Chains A and B, each alone.
Chain A
Amino acid sequence: MNAEIISSLRREIARLEKAPVASLPPGNLEAPSAPRASARGQAGGAERVALGPVDLDRRLGGGLARGTVHEVRAGRPADGTAAAGFALGAALRLAPRRPLLWVRQDFLDAETGGLYAPGLAEFGCDPARLVLVRVRDGAAALRAGLDGARSPALGAMLLAFWGEPKAFDLSASRRLSLAAEASGVSVLLLRLAAEPAPSAAETRWRVEASPSRALEAGAPGPPAFTVTLERQRGGMNGGPWHMEWNRERDCFEERSVEPALSRPVVPVPLDRPVPRPPAGQAWRRAG
């Protein structure tokens, strides 16, 4: 009883204190692309967190709603990791410095590889914040998801499963969304090899990998995605947007797509002078 009162008060204080600060990316507030708004959206007064790209956040009515369910779908079969990256980025935006729960179906390990802690750290997510639950099938994933969505301890939860399990119907997604609303946990449903189906999710996104900004010497750049807002409750669809994840600012940034070219087959000759790095820029360290 007492614990309930205290935890509800605590959440209220956290909401008053943290929310406006946390929903803005740290630093660089004057940058033109920096998200500013943390408006109260129309959907049930849920608090909204800007993702980053201005146009996208405007389409969302201020940002992604906290304490709701967002569905992230891999566009093509091989885009599972890109979808995971987008969902993780969104979770980091929605729940800065709060504990995360990642529920994963075992089959995904074979299909897209297991979750790799150094990679999480490099993405900007401290692995110590994360509790990983491995489940056998979609039905078990949903059960674990419901447990997670009901726990006020979590900031956000990623729920990843393969295909279209029978257990995941409209009422299951409705239950999940009610639990998320009650507890304030933001749920990101990460779905691989799934066709769009009716669900109670607040938004549904299609994510595809996108060519990254080339760094010096043609090195691949930070994570880049092409995302499409396929469905939004009480809102318009939109996209596609091209954006990349900025680890230092913990937010997405809009960017233009550069045409990707295949690498030159002929290597740079060794007997020519080494080109100088452009002024004010250092060469990237290799390896």
Chain B
Amino acid sequence: MPLVLYAKERGALRIVAVDAHAAALGLAPGLALADARARFPRLFSAEGDPHADARLLERLALFCDRFSPLVAVDGEAGLLLDVTGCAHLFGGEAALLKDVRRRLQGFGLAVEAALAATPEAAHVLSRFRSGAIAAPGEEGGLVRPLPLAALELSGETALALARAGLKTVGQVADRTPSELVARFGAELTRRLGRVLGEEDIRISPLRPAPEVIAERHLAEPLLETEALVSLLARLAGEIALCLERRGEGGRRFEASFYRTDGLVRRIPLETSRPSRDAAMLIRLYRERLDALSDPLEAGFGFDAVRLSVLRAEKLENVQPSLDGHAVEEADMAALVDRLIARFGAERVLRLAFADTHDPRRVAVALPAVSAAREKPVLWPEPEAGEPPLRPLQLFDPPQAIETLAEVPDGPPLRFRWRKVLHTIARAEGPERIAPEWWREDARALPRDYYRIEDLEGRRFWVFREGLAGEMEGLPRWYLHGLFA
């Protein structure tokens, strides 16, 4: 049964895509759905979903990552792969093209593919001369005989060229550029130059290009995680050699496992300092894989594995200094990396000082990985002879308490927190902390903080929001922290 997809266009349902069967019957995009139904009552139609198409295309682009790290989405139904330096891994350009088509056809897709020296030449060839492989400098010869439609010009320009009697790309290219520019603007000549492979442009890949890559394509898919890890170890060895030659160490790594059914599993890893120690990298990956909440599901197996270095930094071979400071730092970095591999970067933290008077914002917990890069900021020294004026543990958000306190600005005499009544024996305050009006709501109230201690010796940090008499109703009290 012929299948067409339609979309609503200016109030009418029009066909936007047809399958091979429908195309053979003479249906084409642009036709009104009602006309098509009148001609073929048994037509099967469905509404097109451009968002789902885009999602599918993106997934395919990520799948095509296996052929080259530089993959870009091209229009609504195209992918551009920069395969510079990749073809030999697949046994030559022809074999690469065949492999691309075979794998994508395996998903039930109709695939047209071509290979050329510039993206636009390849784009045009794939649509009009599927399967073509243009040797460097030969694009012109292949593109010239193509019809004008290959230039994908706007309706007016295309019509004007057709009226001038120009029917192929070659005929247009034979005109002098000045003629074309004078009549149609510079856009046409630029387009011509690119399609003919005379001018090159860069594609903008979906994912940033890695610094170093090592990968293996397997004849037989691997199922065992252990086998995958040992393969990864070999790749790590290759990467280490490459990084050593460059005098660099990796900070961000990514292992990609390509499943035969098209799913790509990527597992990132970040180290707190540049590293090219293959054994350590594998230890970290082992822990990372153990800690995955959704383990590596092999399905029908993985048939390609890639390890890439996404970011590399300078790393010189240094001799450990004798005072041991460098060794301790290296040990610490190794511990942090191990913990990050196991629990994730957002769970291994360093406490950094933010220069503000607001007690809620003065301390920021930064991932230990990024904190290591920053300059350490010294914490203000506490004043000698004073007890700790800030609590060891802080509630976020502060907890509401019921309080009996002197008005307008006395410390609490008694308060109830978590159903327990605390009677206050000692108190100090208030310490007034005004809100940062340049940050938050101007109506935020100043807070009066008290350090208090109950009869049993527990010390609390409580505050009153606002003052009685200066606001409607009674001020509210909160417990903000606990002292040791």
In the complex, B334 has a CB within 8 A of chain A: yes
Q: Which residue of the partner chain, among B342, B428, B457, contacts A219 with CB atoms under 8 Å?
A: B428
B contact residues around A86 at 8 Å (CB): 484
In the complex, B432 has a CB within 8 A of chain A: yes
Q: Which residue of the partner chain, among A10, A13, A131, contacts B349 with CB atoms under 8 Å?
A: A131
Contact A3 B392 (CB under 8 A): no
Sample (28) of A-B pairs whose CB atoms are under 8 Å apart: A6-B324, A6-B327, A81-B482, A84-B484, A88-B484, A113-B395, A116-B481, A117-B362, A120-B392, A127-B352, A132-B351, A133-B347, A144-B343, A147-B335, A151-B334, A153-B328, A209-B456, A212-B426, A212-B457, A226-B457, A247-B382, A262-B423, A262-B424, A262-B425, A263-B413, A263-B427, A267-B410, A287-B429
Assess A218 versus B484: contact at CB under 8 Å? Given A113-B394, A265-B413.
Answer: no
Contact B328 A260 (CB under 8 A): no
| B174-209 near A? 1/0 per residue, CB < 8 Å | 000000000000000000000000000000000000
A contact residues around B363 at 8 Å (CB): 116-118, 127
A contact residues around B311 at 8 Å (CB): none
Residue numbers of A with Cβ under 8 A of B are: 2-3, 6-7, 10, 13-14, 78-82, 84-86, 88, 99, 101, 109, 112-124, 126-128, 130-135, 140, 143-144, 147-148, 151-154, 208-212, 214-215, 217-226, 245, 247-248, 260-263, 265, 267, 284, 286-287
User: Which B residue sits closest to A86, measured CB to CB?
Assistant: B484
Q: For the complex, what is the distance from the CA of A120 to the CA of B484, rounded to whole Å?
A: 10
B contact residues around A262 at 8 Å (CB): 413, 423-425, 455
Interface centre among A14, A131, A284, by most B CB within 10 Å?
Answer: A131
B contact residues around A153 at 8 Å (CB): 328-329, 331-332, 334-335
| B444-484 near A? 1/0 per residue, CB < 8 Å | 00000101110111110000000000000000000001111
B contact residues around A117 at 8 Å (CB): 351-353, 362-363, 379
Q: For the complex, what is the distance from the CA of A221 to the CA of B387, rounded to whole Å?
A: 6
Besides the known contacts A133-B349, A220-B459, 17 further A-B residue pairs in the complex with CB atoms under 8 A apart:
A81-B392, A113-B481, A116-B391, A122-B388, A127-B352, A131-B336, A131-B350, A133-B348, A140-B343, A153-B331, A210-B457, A211-B455, A215-B387, A220-B428, A223-B388, A223-B483, A245-B484
A contact residues around B428 at 8 Å (CB): 215, 217-220, 284, 286
Secondary structure of the B contact surface, majority rule: mixed
B contact residues around A140 at 8 Å (CB): 343
Secondary structure of the A contact surface, majority rule: mixed
B contact residues around A144 at 8 Å (CB): 339, 342-343
Assess A120 versus B424: contact at CB under 8 Å? Given A113-B393, A211-B453.
Answer: no
In the complex, B294 has a CB within 8 A of chain A: no
Q: For the complex, what is the distance from the CA of A123 to the CA of B393, rounded to whole Å?
A: 11
B contact residues around A267 at 8 Å (CB): 406, 410
Contact A248 B343 (CB under 8 A): no
A contact residues around B394 at 8 Å (CB): 113-116, 119
Q: Which residue of the partner chain, among B335, B348, B410, B426, contacts A220 with CB atoms under 8 Å?
A: B426
Assess A127 versus B351: contact at CB under 8 Å? Given A140-B343, A151-B335.
Answer: yes
In the complex, B380 has a CB within 8 A of chain A: yes
Q: For the complex, what is the distance from the CA of A144 to the CA of B410, rounded to whole Å?
A: 45
Q: Closest CB of chain A to B377's CB: distance in Å? A: 8
Tell me the total A-B contact number using a CB cutoff of 8 A.
Answer: 246
In the complex, B431 has a CB within 8 A of chain A: yes
A contact residues around B430 at 8 Å (CB): 287
B contact residues around A263 at 8 Å (CB): 411, 413, 424-427
Q: For the complex, what is the distance from the CA of A260 to the CA of B422, rounded to whole Å?
A: 13
- Would you list which residues of chain B between 387 and 446 have a CB under 8 Å from chain A? 387-396, 406, 410-411, 413, 420, 423-432
A contact residues around B327 at 8 Å (CB): 3, 6-7, 10
The 8 A-B pairs of least Cβ separation, nearest first, read: A85-B484, A153-B331, A117-B363, A10-B324, A219-B428, A113-B393, A287-B431, A122-B388
Assess A130 versus B388: contact at CB under 8 Å? Given A14-B324, A262-B455.
Answer: no
User: Which A residue sits closest to B380, measured CB to CB?
Assistant: A121
A contact residues around B320 at 8 Å (CB): 2-3, 6
Q: For the complex, what is the distance from the CA of A220 to the CA of B384, rounded to whole Å?
A: 16
B contact residues around A131 at 8 Å (CB): 332, 335-336, 339, 348-350, 368
User: Which A residue sits closest to B433, measured CB to CB?
Assistant: A287
Q: For the complex, what is the distance from the CA of A6 to the CA of B318, rounded to whole Å?
A: 14
